[in-house]
C-alpha cells in the first residue's frame, strides 16, 4: 500500500443562476406561450384545459409544437421557430419532461426562455423530477421553476388526465408566480 497523489478525472459544472427568475404576475393582457411536443398525448390534453383557464383570466395563449428531431436542417428550422416563438410571448410554460431525452429538450427549451428573461416554468412528471433538477443545475439554472405532475400519466385515459389538469391548476399558477384569481375562482 502506498499513498500518493492522483489527478481528479472529473470536470467542474458551469456557473449557476440559483434564482427562479421573474414571476408571471397578472395574466390579464399577457401572452402565455405553451411548448408542446409530438409525443405526449396527455400533455396536449392538460395544456388545452389550462389554456382555457388562462384565456378566462384575460391572457392570450400561443402553442408551439416541436419534435425530437432537433438536428440537421430540421434542427435549424426548429431552433429558428423556437426563437420566433419566444420573441412573441410574455410567459413560458414548457413541457413535457416525461422521458429522458424529452426531459433534456424540455429543460433546454425552458432555459432558453429563462435566459431571455421570460417568467418560465418547466413541467415534468414525478419520475423525471431528479433528472429535470439535475439538468437545470447542469444547464446553469438550478432555480428554474418546475411543476410536477403525477406519473405515469400518458398511460391514463383522457378523463383521468383532465382530472389531473384541474387538480393541478392552482399548483401550476403558484409555480408560475401567476396572479389569476379569476381563474382560481372559476375553477373552484
Contacts of other proteins in 106-165 (CB under 8 A) = 108, 128, 130-131, 134-135, 138-140
C-alpha span between 147 and 180 (Å, rounded): 17
- Residue nearer to other proteins on the CB measure, 41 or 166: 41
Q: Decide whether 9 or 188 has the Cβ nearer to other proteins.
A: 9
Choose among 91, 90, 64, 89: nearest CA to 145.
91
70 near other proteins, rule: CB under 8 A: yes
Residues 140, 115: contact at Cβ < 8 Å? no
CA distances from 8 to 2, 11, 14, 48 (A): 18, 8, 17, 49
Set of cell numbers at residue 133? 433538477
The answer to whether 72 contacts other proteins (rule: CB under 8 A) is yes
Residue 30 or 70: which CB sits closer to other proteins?
A: 70
As a whole number of angstroms, the distance between CA 101 and CA 6 comes to 34
Q: Which of 6, 87, 159, 188 binds other proteins (CB under 8 A)?
A: 6
Among 88, 100, 152, 171, binds other proteins (CB under 8 A): 100
Q: Are the beta carbons of 120 and 150 closer than 8 angstroms?
A: no
Interaction of residue 1 with other proteins, rule CB under 8 A: yes
Establish if 105 lies at the interface with other proteins (CB under 8 A).
Answer: yes
Give the footprint of other proteins on this chain (CB under 8 A).
Answer: 1-14, 38-39, 67-72, 74-75, 99-105, 108, 128, 130-131, 134-135, 138-140
Amino acid at each position: 500500500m502506498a499513498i500518493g497523489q492522483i489527478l481528479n478525472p472529473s470536470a467542474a459544472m458551469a456557473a449557476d443562476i440559483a434564482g427562479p427568475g421573474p414571476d408571471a404576475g397578472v395574466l390579464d393582457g399577457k401572452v402565455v406561450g405553451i411548448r408542446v411536443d409530438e409525443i405526449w398525448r396527455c400533455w396536449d390534453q392538460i395544456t388545452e384545459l389550462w389554456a382555457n383557464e388562462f384565456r378566462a383570466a384575460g391572457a392570450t395563449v400561443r402553442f408551439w409544437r416541436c419534435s425530437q428531431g432537433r438536428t440537421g436542417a430540421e434542427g435549424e428550422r426548429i431552433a429558428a421557430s423556437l426563437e420566433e416563438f419566444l420573441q412573441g410571448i410574455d410567459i413560458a410554460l414548457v413541457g413535457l419532461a416525461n422521458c429522458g431525452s424529452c426531459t433534456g429538450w424540455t429543460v433546454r427549451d425552458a432555459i432558453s426562455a429563462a435566459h431571455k428573461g421570460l417568467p418560465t416554468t418547466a413541467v415534468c412528471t414525478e419520475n423525471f423530477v431528479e433528472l429535470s433538477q439535475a439538468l437545470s443545475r447542469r444547464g446553469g439554472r438550478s432555480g428554474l421553476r418546475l411543476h410536477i405532475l403525477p406519473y405515469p400519466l400518458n398511460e391514463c385515459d383522457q378523463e383521468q388526465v383532465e382530472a389531473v389538469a384541474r387538480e393541478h391548476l392552482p399548483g401550476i399558477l403558484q409555480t408560475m408566480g401567476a396572479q389569476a384569481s379569476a381563474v382560481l375562482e372559476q375553477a373552484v
